[in-house]
A and B are shown apart, each in its own frame.
Chain A
Amino acid sequence: MTAATATKQALLQRLDGLHQIPTIPAVLAPLLRYLQQPVEQLDVQKVTDLLSQDKSLAAQCLQMANSPLFGRAQNVQSLRGAVVSLGFHHVSDIAMSCGVLNMLPSDKASLDPVVFWEHSLGCALVSRQIARKINFGDPGKAYLAGLLHDLGIIVNLWVLPKEFRAAWEMGKGEGIPLHEAEQKSMGFTHCDSGRLLGERWALAPELIEVISYHHAPEKSAEHTGLVALVQLADLLCRMSGLNYGYVEERQVNLAEESGFGLLAQHSTALKDFDWARLTFELDSYMDEVHSLVRAIYRT
């Protein structure tokens, strides 16, 4: 058995051991279940009450509700105000953002949680922006997919912190993508571990596909377009400074990536898409993402 296969075995065993697996945050499960009902059956007060059960989550939602990244013009003072102003779906996305990202262990020796947050939030925003611009389905879904695509990194940080730190250091040292470093040093990637957690949490099938295949969208079967979109958004973020805390020393031509061809099959608008402009727009996201994540992290 090679060292890599041994590590993969170890991961599977530890995940099976259950006690180490991150559980979906206590407040999120009932909130998300409630929000899955038809909109007309939802009650603002009930959503506000569910959110209020976790004070830090509530405060973080309020921070996000007031960020220009969510298009707010006026200052939202109360949680109820945030729910009304943002709408149920946005609240659900925001709660998910905060809830999941709060699970990060604070091991600053390798991937800094703030940096991971920034990458995830950046990828969510870029995914949403691409979806809007090329008229690809529901931008909210693209946002959530972008936000959760690296769920496996959280698993790796929890379950195999030492091994993951070695992989991250290899990625940093060689300037190679993190998933390549993980594959080389651990024998599996955050896509594999993310998939295990996604399945255990019974996340929506399209989210599980994004988590599993965002580095190889050609392997996805059902939701190829969304997986491809997140692949491109992720890559754009990593090349534009919203990375994992180190620079990947490489050149990327998005049009040559497998996701580009796959996404083009779902959207004719992609052919004439202005990637340069989106890249420049990312400049302004960066500032907002940095300040928002820092503000949330202090909350």
Chain B
Amino acid sequence: MDGPPEPELVRIRDVIYQTAGIFHPDNKLRLLQDRCGRRMKELKVQTLREYSECLTIRPTRQAELIALLNEITIGETSFFRNQPQLDALRRIVIPKILEAKSNLPLRRLRIWSAGCSTGEEPYTLRMLMLEELNVQLKDWSTEILATDLNERSLAHAEEAVYGSYSTRNLTPSYRNKYFIPQGDKLQVNALARSNISFSRLNLSDDSRMTFMKSMDAIFCCNVLIYFDLASKRRVIQHFFNNLLPHGYLFLGHSESLFGVNDDFRLVHLPGATAYVKGERTPAGGKSL
């Protein structure tokens, strides 16, 4: 950071946060500027001020926002994309879910990757579950539902072959245990592909959304940012209804539900945030 950030860039950052719910802290503003730069080149726009108008005043602002969000999320999909989030799932969230379900006869964990794109996220989750199979998840069955709107992405996910970019965060141990080399690429092996069901689903399809019941956790990363406020509210309400009382909703890095939904509660986990259903407790009920 060299001095205070450019006011126009801060304005664009705020527009993106207000409309899409994804936030760029000051140390990521240069990246945002770079992404805006690509769009400005495309539109032959000279200044950030002019580009900011493309996002706020011009009739095509909605389409431009989506084009910019596409630039922002390019290359976002990879295995083990958000390690603190995954660590929190394993160390804190799964124990809490298991505890909440300890008296139920059916020992089953159901996780939904909503907007799974080309499959890196659900396979990552499956690998984590496999790692816990003989530890926390002994005697538990796990089921991962992975949905996306895009059929080409789903076909890629089911083929499960990935290049070096997607697999860049893999540790040698995961690479050896759960992948088979395919030329210069890697394919997810049969074990890590088991117990995942891929299907096409439009999150705005109210009738089908009501069937995604009894979830323990939902991951919906960098998907809601493309929805307008009304659709976002409907999808979040479905998530709320689909989750079990102890359920968790995870969003993408720096993605927020602020101003979208009042029912979910924001919780802080080490290095990550999540949303829980929880009870409405009166503030000040508990001492630290």
Contacts and interface: CB of A to CB of B under 8 A. Distances in A.
Interface stretch (B50-58, B125-133, B149-157, B261-269): B261-269
A284 B28 contact: yes
A255 B259 CA distance: 16
B11 interface: no
A250 B92 contact: yes
A261 B23 CA distance: 27
Nearest to A177: B288
Contact of B270 (A249, A257, A283): A249
B283 interface: yes
A277 to B, nearest CB: 6
Task: Decide if the interface of chain A is mainly helix, strand, loop or mixed.
Answer: helix
Contacts of B17: 277
Given A259-B288, A284-B1, A253 B266 contact: yes
Given A71-B4, A72-B3, A249-B91, A279 B288 contact: no
A256 B287 CA distance: 9
Interface in B260-288: 265-271, 273, 276, 278, 281-288
A283 B281 CA distance: 29
Given A71-B4, A277-B17, A256 B256 contact: no
B28 A236 contact: no
Nearest to B14: A277
A277 B91 contact: no
Most A CB within 10 A of own CB, among B23, B283, B286, B287:
B283
Interface of A: 68, 71-74, 177, 215-216, 218, 231, 235-236, 239-241, 247-262, 264, 274-277, 279-284, 287-288
16 contacts: A71-B4, A72-B3, A235-B268, A240-B268, A241-B271, A247-B270, A249-B91, A249-B92, A250-B270, A251-B88, A253-B266, A256-B286, A257-B286, A258-B287, A277-B256, A280-B256
Interface of B: 1-4, 17, 23, 25-28, 88, 91-93, 96, 254, 256-259, 265-271, 273, 276, 278, 281-288
Given A240-B271, A283-B254, A288-B1, 8 more contacts: A68-B4, A68-B26, A73-B3, A251-B88, A256-B281, A256-B283, A256-B285, A281-B23
